[in-house]
Amino acid sequence: MARAIDVADASRVRRAPRYGRFGFLGFLLGALLSLALTFVPVGGADLPRGTLFLLLLLALGTGGVFAGLTWALVADRRSLRRRGRG
């Protein structure tokens, strides 16, 4: 029985990006940005730091996930176009 790796031509194997990893990386960057913005002094804000962090995490974490997934989609489309299949 032949294995796929033995019969596949390495020049024709497509390496698609892992969308979950891109989304997780975007969320991580959003969380780090939320943490950094939590400690920026804001005049007149009566929110506790924990609540402010959670609100920023909700907004920036979601935005980071979407940005990471968009980045993965663009990279995938660019790799297809480069191979002449797009």
Find the domain containing 56 and state its range. Answer: 49-86
Computed over its alpha carbons, how large is the radius of gyration of the chain?
A: 20
What proportion of the chain, given as a percentage, has pLDDT over 90?
Answer: 51
Q: How many domains does the chain have?
A: 1
Q: Is the pLDDT of residue 8 over 70?
A: no
- For residue 20, the tally of other CB atoms under 10 A from its CB is 11
pLDDT confidence band for 53 (50 / 70 / 90): very high
pLDDT band for position 10 (cuts 50, 70, 90): low
62 occurs within a structural domain? yes
Q: Domain for residue 68, yes or no?
A: yes
For residue 44, tell me if it sits in a domain: no
Alpha-carbon span 55 to 20, nearest angstrom: 23
- If one counts every other C-beta atom within 10 angstroms of the C-beta of residue 36, the result is 10
